[in-house]
Amino acid sequence: MGYLSCLDTVKPVRDAIDVISGKWKLPIIISVMTGNERFTDIQESIPGITPKVLAKELKDLEQHQLIKRIVIDDYPVKILYKPEPYADTLTPIIDALKGWGLKHRERIFNKE
């Protein structure tokens, strides 16, 4: 009989996960928020990411209005990626994950 309803928490958490899930989205947002603007700079700032994955995730993040793709019509054309204001709302999540990740690494080191 009876399970306790945790839907009030589970539902919004899943909404958030749906947007930022995967191995790369948060790292890319962090990189862009740090000030990396060019495709190659972002790529080089995130170890292990391939151009294919980066291109795909950048499109995703643009659709969610977390970053902006800016074309500058010089010769040669420049393309810049900048964070949208909405990206700032992710800061508490990033901070929480960063804090937890740091302590988790400590914990694992101390065990072994």
Site map 27..66 versus a copy of itself, x via CB under 8 A: x--xx-xxxx-x-xxx-xxxx-------------------
* Euclidean distance between CA atoms 108 and 2, whole angstroms: 37
Segment 27 to 66, residues that bind DNA, using CB under 7 A: 38-41, 48-53, 55-58
Secondary structure class of 72 (helix, strand, coil): strand
Chosen residue from 11, 69, 98, 105 binding DNA by CB under 7 A: 69
Size of the site for a copy of itself (CB under 8 A): 51
The beta strands (E) that lie in 1-112 are given as: 67-72, 78-83
Pick one of 77, 101, 109, 112: the residue that binds a copy of itself (CB under 8 A).
101
What is the three-class DSSP state of 68? strand
- CB-neighbour burial class of residue 103 (10 A; exposed 0-12, middle 13-18, buried 19+): exposed
- Name the site residues for DNA (rule: CB under 7 A): 1, 21-24, 38-41, 48-53, 55-58, 69, 75-79
